[in-house]
C-alpha cells in the first residue's frame, strides 16, 4: 500500500486531502475523559497541514441512531484538536465545507450522523462517498489514518478509497507493522492477556491465537464462563451459559491460565461489600468484579519470561477503585516484562484507557494500539476492508 510519505513526496501544497481519523473518544457530558485517540491522530494531520495541504477530516463519535444527536457532536474533539495542533480546527457540516487556504484544517461533524455511512447498501454508501470525493476535487487525495475503523466497510473508510488516490496514514502504517510483528514471527515465549466481558466477543480470536501462543491468560468478566466450564460455581458473576461448552474445549489446549482468586461484591457498586475469595468459594448472589492478588502474582510470573505480549481487555471493573487492582497489577507485570526486553502491545480502547486512568507509564509498553476490534480481527486472520482497499 502507498503511505503518507509517498503522498508527501508527490506534493500536497494546495491540494485537498481527506483524512479519515479515529476520534471516537469517551465523553462525560462534553468533557473528554481520554484524549489518546486524538493525540494519536495529530502527527499525520500536522504533516499534511505543514506541507500545505487543505486538510478535511472525517470521523465518528459513538453510534448515532439515524440522524444528528447533540450528545455525540464532535465539538469537544474539534476544540481539543485545535489545542494539540496549535491552530484553529473548525467543526463544519458535510454540506458546508468552506473555502480553505493551504495549511487549513477542518473537521466534518460526526460522519455517522448520515446513515449512509454505515449502510449495508453499496449504492447508499457510494452516494456519500461521492460527496466526499467532490469536496476533495480533481487533484484530491485520501489518507486512511483511523485504524480503529479499518475493519468496517463504511463510506468514509472503504468507498471513498476506491475513488481517490489513497494512502495509509502514519498511524495506520505503524499499527499494521506492529500487528505483522505479532503474527508473522513473534519472539517467544509469546503470551496473550485477554479480558473484557464476554467469551463470545473473543471466541474467534482465542481460537486463532491458541495454536500460535505459548500461554493465554484470561481475566475480566469472561473468565467466569471458563471457571464454570471447570465446574466452579460463579455466584451472580457474568456468565454465558451457551459458551461453557466452547470454553471447555478451549481449555483442552493446556495453554489457558485462569484466575485462582477473585474480588467479589454483593452488588455492582463501588460502595458495596467487597471480599477476595478463591475461585471455588464465590458466595451465592455475589459478583466477581476483578481478579485477586494471587492471580496477579500468578499472571505476573507467567509474563516474567515472555518476549512478546499482547494485552486486550481489563481484568476487572477498573473504573471503580475497589476493582482496579487486578488490571493495574497485571498491566504493571507487562511493563516489567517490557523493561526486561519483551515486545508488548496494548490493544483496545478499554485497555488503553486503563493504562492512562491508572497512572501507568504509556512508554512502559512497546505500542498502545488505537483499535481494539480492528486489532482482534487482524489477529484472527480476517481481511480488513479498510486495509484491503489500500492495496488495490
Of the residues 198, 212, 307, 356, only one is catalytic, namely 198
Establish whether 37 is a catalytic residue.
yes
Alpha-carbon distance of 238 to 260, in angstroms, equals 17
CB neighbour list of residue 61: distance below 8 Å, 6 or more residues apart: 23, 24, 25, 27, 72, 73, 74, 77, 110, 112
Using only C-alpha atoms, the chain has a radius of gyration, in whole angstroms, of 22
Binding residues for ATP: 202, 288, 319, 348-351
Is 305 an annotated catalytic residue?
no
Query: Of the listed 15, 20, 37, 153, which one is catalytic?
Result: 37
Q: Distance of CA 377 to CAs 249, 317, 357, Å?
A: 21, 24, 26
Q: How far is CA 26 from CA 65, 307, 353, in A?
A: 18, 32, 9
β-pairing, 367-368 vs 261-265, is: unpaired
Q: Which of 36, 140, 347, 373 is catalytic?
A: 373
- Rounded distance between C-alpha atoms, residue 306 and residue 334, angstroms: 9
Catalytic site residue 198? yes
Among residues 36, 170, 313, 349, the one annotated as catalytic is 349
CA–CA gap between residue 179 and residue 181 (Å, rounded): 5
Catalytic status, residue 373: yes
* CA atoms of 90 and 142, how far apart (whole Å): 20
Binding residues: 22-24, 37, 60-63, 112, 152, 202, 288, 319, 348-351
Cis before 189 (ω within 30) = yes
Binding residues for substrate: 22-24, 37, 60-63, 112, 152
Binding residue numbers for (2R)-3-phosphoglycerate: 37, 112, 152
Active site residues: 37, 198, 349, 373
Amino acid at each position: 500500500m502507498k503511505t503518507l510519505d509517498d503522498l508527501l513526496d508527490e506534493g500536497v501544497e494546495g491540494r485537498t486531502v481527506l483524512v479519515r481519523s479515529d476520534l471516537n473518544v469517551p465523553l462525560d457530558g462534553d468533557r473528554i475523559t481520554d484524549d489518546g485517540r486524538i493525540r494519536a491522530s495529530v502527527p499525520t494531520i500536522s504533516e499534511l497541514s505543514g506541507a500545505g495541504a487543505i486538510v478535511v477530516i472525517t470521523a465518528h463519535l459513538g453510534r448515532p441512531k439515524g440522524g444528528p444527536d447533540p450528545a455525540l457532536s464532535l465539538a469537544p474533539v474539534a476544540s481539543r484538536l485545535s489545542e494539540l495542533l496549535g491552530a484553529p480546527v473548525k467543526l463544519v457540516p458535510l454540506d458546508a465545507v468552506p473555502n480553505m487556504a493551504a495549511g487549513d484544517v477542518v473537521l466534518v461533524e460526526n460522519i455517522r450522523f448520515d446513515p449512509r455511512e454505515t449502510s449495508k447498501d453499496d449504492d447508499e454508501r457510494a452516494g456519500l462517498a461521492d460527496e466526499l470525493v467532490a469536496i476533495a476535487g480533481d487533484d484530491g487525495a485520501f489518507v486512511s489514518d483511523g485504524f480503529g475503523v479499518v475493519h468496517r466497510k463504511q463510506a468514509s473508510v472503504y468507498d471513498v478509497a476506491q475513488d481517490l488516490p489513497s494512502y495509509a496514514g502514519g498511524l495506520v502504517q505503524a499499527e499494521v507493522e506492529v500487528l505483522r510483528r505479532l503474527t508473522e514471527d513473534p519472539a517467544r515465549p509469546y503470551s496473550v492477556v485477554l479480558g473484557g466481558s464476554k467469551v463470545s466477543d473473543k471466541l474467534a480470536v482465542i481460537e486463532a491465537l491458541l495454536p500460535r501462543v505459548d500461554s493465554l491468560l484470561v481475566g475480566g468478566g469472561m473468565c467466569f464462563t471458563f471457571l464454570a466450564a471447570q465446574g466452579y460455581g460463579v455466584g451472580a458473576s457474568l456468565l454465558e451459559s451457551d459458551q461453557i461448552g466452547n470454553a471447555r474445549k478451549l481449555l483442552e489446549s493446556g495453554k489457558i491460565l485462569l484466575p485462582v482468586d477473585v474480588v467479589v461484591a454483593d452488588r455492582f457498586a463501588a460502595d458495596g461489600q467487597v471480599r477476595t475469595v478463591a475461585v471455588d468459594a464465590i458466595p451465592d448472589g455475589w459478583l466477581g468484579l476483578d481478579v485477586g492478588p494471587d492471580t496477579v502474582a500468578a499472571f505476573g510470573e507467567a509474563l516474567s519470561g515472555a518476549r512478546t505480549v499482547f494485552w486486550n481487555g481489563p481484568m476487572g471493573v477498573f473504573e471503580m477503585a475497589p476493582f482496579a487492582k487486578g488490571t493495574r497489577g497485571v498491566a504493571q507485570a507487562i511493563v516489567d516484562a517490557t523493561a526486561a526486553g519483551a515486545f508488548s502491545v496494548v490493544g483496545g480502547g478499554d485497555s488503553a484507557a486503563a493504562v492512562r486512568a491508572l497512572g501507568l507509564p504509556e512508554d512502559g509498553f512497546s505500542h498502545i494500539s488505537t483499535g481494539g476490534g480492528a486489532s482482534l480481527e487482524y489477529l484472527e486472520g480476517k481481511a480488513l476492508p479498510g486495509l484491503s482497499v489500500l492495496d488495490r
